[in-house]
Amino acid sequence: MFKAFANDTDVLNIDGDALTVTNDLVRIVISGTLELTRDRVGLKTALALQQAIGSVVDVLQADPSLPEHIADEPPAPTGTVDNPFA
């Protein structure tokens, strides 16, 4: 079961690899093209998509300290590291 924002390693493939949902601690990336057909296969695919999106919505709604916007870039390093080439 896909748990949104739980780690930075999980990738959920829906309908083979037609649609991928990539997990991260601060963002979920959804990529691909997904066709939902009006049959049992389409239902199974739609339910997988619904579960993934539901997990995202649940985590976001349950976070009382949800920021207005996250930074697009990671924070700048705060320390120094010795130059191994010097």
Question: Considering the domain boundaries, does residue 4 fall inside one?
Answer: no
Q: Residue 16: which domain range?
A: 11-59
Digits of tens for pLDDT over the chain (86 positions)? 899 999 999 999 999 999 999 999 999 999 999 999 999 999 999 999 999 999 999 999 999 999 999 888 767 778 888 888 97
Gap between the Cα atoms of 31 and 34, Å rounded: 9
**Whether the model pTM is above 0.95:** no
Question: Considering the domain boundaries, does residue 65 fall inside one?
Answer: no
Question: Considering the domain boundaries, does residue 77 fall inside one?
Answer: no
Question: Considering the domain boundaries, does residue 71 fall inside one?
Answer: no
Question: Considering the domain boundaries, does residue 32 fall inside one?
Answer: yes
Question: Considering the domain boundaries, does residue 79 fall inside one?
Answer: no
Q: Where are the alpha helices (DSSP H) in 28-68?
A: 40-62
Question: Considering the domain boundaries, does residue 55 fall inside one?
Answer: yes
What is the tally of structural domains in the chain?
1
DSSP state of 18: T
Question: Considering the domain boundaries, does residue 50 fall inside one?
Answer: yes
